[in-house]
Amino acid sequence: MTLLLLERILLVGAGGFLGAVSRFGMFMLTKPLYKHGIPLGALSVNVIGSLLIGVLAFYILHKDFEGHKIFETFLITGFLGSFTTFSAFSLDVLRLVQDHDYMTAGWVILGNVVLSLIAVFIGFYLAMRLYT
């Protein structure tokens, strides 16, 4: 199935809108925890998004279902591209460094990178186990 450019733009836009709203919701949910010095908003969306992208990547690689291009365009490029956020994570680290909280900044960096990588592998593995 080939998508027209306008269809792809609309799918990315709709997914992006929903991803941004979901990211905002997650940031609002985790905001009370920031009082303890740990910015969990960006970490949460990056790890959850990585887990989901691992699951979706497995299904897209296998392309055993009709409409996988729509699925990929809407969910991965649109929704997850907007839901996950490297810029918010980077801003969290900058603020921690400006506050001279280097230990927490290091943990935030390590947490975002390592946990997101682990999550994408787990998502892919879980999808593979469920698929076979």
The DSSP string of the chain is -PPPHHHHHHHHHHHHHHHHHHHHHHHHHHGGGGGGT--HHHHHHHHHHHHHHHHHHHHHHHT-STTHHHHIIIIIIIIIHHHS-HHHHHHHHHHHHHTT-HHHHHHHHHIIIIIHHHHHHHHHHHHHHHH-
**Residue keyed to tokens 């905001």:** 31
Per-residue model confidence as pLDDT tens for the chain (132 residues): 577 999 999 999 999 999 999 999 999 999 888 777 778 899 999 999 999 999 988 888 776 666 778 888 999 999 999 999 888 889 899 999 999 999 999 999 999 999 999 999 999 999 999 987
Helix (H) or strand (E) holding 114: none
Of 40, 122, 28, 131, give the one whose Cα is nearest residue 89.
Answer: 40
Q: Please give the model's pTM, rounded to 2 decimal places.
A: 0.85
